[in-house]
Structure 1
Amino acid sequence: MMTQSSIRSWLWLHKWSSLVCTVFMLLLCLTGLPLIFHHEIGDFLGQHIQTPAIAHTGPMASMDALVAAAKAKQPGMVPLYLYREEDEPLQWILSMAKTADAEQGFKQVVLDARTAQVLGEPIVEAGFLYIMFKLHVDLFAGLPGMLFLGFMGCLLLVALVSGVVLYAPFMRKLRFGEIRRYKGEKLKRLDVHNFLGIVVLSWSLIVAATGGINAWSDLLIKYWQADQIAAMIAPYKHLPPPDRFGSLQAALHVAQQAQPDMQLGFVAFPGTAYASPHHYGIFMRGDSPLTKRLFKPVLVDARTATFTDSRDLPWYLVALLVSQPLHFGDYGGLTLKWLWAVLDVITIIVLWTGLVLWWKKRHRSLPELHATHTLRDAY
């Protein structure tokens, strides 16, 4: 049985951890809601580029032809990453910028995988979804914003754990889900807050934990570069970057020979975060629901198209890759997206009712009196 002193300590911890993070958690829930349906919203806004229905029986266009077509469309830009969406297997998307280490000014070129024809150039750094994404990821503040939101996620975990500790004695004399509608607005609001909080507890823990992992993504990638990538490219350490690159198609063939049981996930071009100045980073993946999200990098010399090294990703990057789809619920189709959306809305209600409870009690001379007595009555 909890003592009154321990109840007050847990109440203080729950109150202040919640108050500090609530406004930012509301922002993350509100911005995260449209991001759950970012593909569907993009289609609705007319941002989706359709693949033309043409008869094509020959081989797919070479990777070199795709890159050449994109460069012709965006002269003066360098390729960064080549990838494709799961729902558009006949398209390749090449992201480009002025330099390989650019932090803004990105362009995208969508290409027909069969013919290397340019299908469109979607706007990258503008629009409703871009604003929602940036607010959700880093508040338009880059790495400091990401780390700040990660800290808010840690506070949310503290608030959830302390809320569970307080919920057990609170519910001792109440049936699960009971809302005391006839005992005043404050008790009703408290019961709704507690009940909905328990309903979304597991989901909130998952989203808070995976969001915290994602907030460290930039630092984890930098550590991976300084650790594994540095070891893989050690023979190139003192060599100047090449002034020209060899065939990407030949490099892909080398990667497929190195990992014959895997398929291409994406390509990182020389100088980007997932490669080195001397290499194509060719990331291979499996085809099962889990392994298609877990990549294995193959470094191929960008000048000679010869194999350099290939290693499994470290555990922290595996955790990052697994956490990303889990955070947005985009690994189980539209049904899971709707479930994520409903739980997100319930979480918004929990956060809002918690904020209202604090606001209503802040004018009392003894702001903890009501909650403490409520918990005491539960024994």
Structure 2
Amino acid sequence: MSNRLTNILIPIISVVLGILAGTIIMLVSGYNPIEGYSALWDGIFGEVYFVGETLRQMTPLILAGLAVAFAFRTGLFNIGVEGQLIVGWLAAVWVGTSFGDLPKFIHLPLAVIAAALAGALWGFVPGLLKARFRVHEVIVTIMMNYIALQASNAIVRDVLTDRKERTDYVAESASLKSPFLESITDFSRLHWGIIIALACAFIMWFLLEKTSRGYELRAVGFNQNASQYAGMNVNGNIILSMVISGAFAGLAGSMEALGTFGYASIKGGFTGVGFDGIAVALLGGNAAIGVIFAALLFGGLKVGALNMPLDAGIPNELVDIIIALIIFFVASGYIIRYMIQRFRKKGVK
């Protein structure tokens, strides 16, 4: 069995196992799994509105998945995507509400770039600590998630507003919302951010696979000592990797800030999009095209699950368990890879 075929089989097997586990849970609980999964399917593809909402949901997931996948491809584990997303969200709203007199072709790119820069800056800190002092990026990025959450809440409350729960809506000139996309999807919240997300997937693929800089980044991730011996700037590439990863995460925040919601608010907890990006990257095999399909699956599960209590009468708590089981098996893809490899070795013997 070739490695390419193995890489294709792993996510498929993971999803199938998750569906089977969900089936068992529904049967034990006294619900019809056929009705449950039919409701899930209808909630994703049953109406054009649901299709639009699925595409809208997958937009930030693509970018969050790219952020995790890019760092992983270069030998780093960026757990701070959630925090980088939050500061990107805040920066996009800050710019989107502050320069309402600018034309759209300047204001919108400025807000998007501000989000990317904010996420990149938040990724620069753990990258610098990793490169200069060998501080593990997992610990630093986890801690910076909490700093981002509380700092953004303080800025919303005391800087962007006068002790209010949320900011004003971003100006129309900084909005990603599209009357055209809304009209063809029966007034879903689909916006132009989906184009940005797909473009970023192409950029990641091109950078890592077709440029000398991408080769250096991957080489440093594979073996730092060999890369240094070959004359590569190991520390510089570590920092650059975290900066680019953070930029993708910041862009994910701008999708929510300028597209889905249009404002920033005081958050009682994390959005969850950044953490979902880890599972998206794992399911997608840390490849750009894989991340797109994995984000489509996760976006569909999140949107379609809302229809299961309505059409199949399955309680929300059980729906959450079923979706969590699917995600669990998806995240266990490396176990499935190990089992396939063991089976392959026995076959060779």
TM-score by length of 2: 0.23
Bigger fraction of residues in strand: 1
TM-score by length of 1: 0.21
Does 1 or 2 have the higher relative contact order (CA < 8 Å, sep 6+)? Answer: 2
Bigger fraction of residues in helix: 2
